[in-house]
Amino acid sequence: MLNEKLHFYIEGLIQERNPLLTEMESYAEIHKVPIMEIAGIEALLQLLRIQNSKKILEVGTAIGYSALRMANALPDSQIVTIERDEERIQAAKDFIKRSEHAHQITLVEGDALEVEEIVNKFAPYDTVFIDAAKGQYKKFFEIYSKHLSDDGMIITDNVLFKGLVAEEEIESKRVRNLVKKINEFNHWLTQHPDYDSVILPVGDGVAISKRRGERK
Ligand SMILES: C[S@@+](CC[C@H](N)C(=O)[O-])C[C@H]1O[C@@H](n2cnc3c(N)ncnc32)[C@H](O)[C@@H]1O
């Protein structure tokens, strides 16, 4: 998103992670698991610290990397995280068990479109972090914004999708359809009457949405 030189400059300033997290980064690379970009996750963690988030809902655990980064950055927080892919659930369980943060993380196994009842048991959430199937962002937002605390914040990753949202011609029909959905979501989100939203061109594009005033 930024020019490449600046991108590497910023990444070069980010501190080394602990050995377990570094192992997870390698695992994700080898097994082609899409974990959040390093600069994007640093921005997310800083927002959570500023908000002093105590309860976080994550849609899209993958192998538990971002969940563990959040638990590590906010030792007083509780994180509920949803994943539907069996293999990733197993990997996430193994990594979380090996960490010092297992007591902070609740992994909900299943499709985020179907587990609202379970997730609701831990509500309200100070932060909802959406990082799952990009074509479903609006649905995730609609379902889980209901369980946000009154001054809560919703963070959505990948809203610029490698810059493709601003491309006029995209060859692949599948990618074109996905880009269309993300574009629709971005327009819907930035015009939402109940939220003030901003899109930061960091990582793969991070949208920050803050509830406006009191819940109606
Ligand atoms: C980009 S990865 C999450 C990365 C993770 N947040 C991180 O940065 O470490 C997205 C994950 O969401 C999961 N996913 C996608 N749609 C989902 C759904 N409807 N319900 C539950 N999980 C879903 C995928 O299986 C995938 O593992």
Averages of pLDDT over each 10 residues, the chain, 216 residues: 82 94 97 95 97 98 98 98 98 98 98 98 98 96 97 96 90 92 97 96 95 70
Q: Pick the atom of ligand 1 nearest to 82's CA.
A: 21
> What is the 8-class DSSP label of residue 204?
T
Quick one: which of 151, 128, 150, 149 has its CA closest to 139?
Answer: 128
105-109/78-83 β-pairing = parallel
- Confidence at residue 4, expressed as pLDDT on a 0 to 100 scale: 84
Distance 214 CA to ligand 1 centre (A): 30
3-state secondary structure of 60: coil
CA distance linking residue 149 with residue 151, whole number of Å: 6
Give the tokens for residue 103: 């007591």
Alpha-carbon gap, residue 145 to 210, rounded angstroms: 10
Ligand 1, atom 4, lies closest to the CA of: 35
Considering only CA atoms, which of 129, 135, 205 is closest in space to residue 164?
205
Ligand 1 atom with minimal separation from the 157 CA: 1
CB 159 within 8 A of CB 165: yes
State the closest ligand 1 atom to the C-alpha of 158, by its place in the atom list counted from 1: 1
Instruction: Read off the pTM.
Output: 0.95
Structure token digits, residue 73: 């950055």
Which residue is closest in CA terms to ligand 1's atom 27? 62
Residues with CB under 6 A from ligand 1: 34-36, 60, 62, 65-66, 82-85, 88, 111-113, 131-133, 136
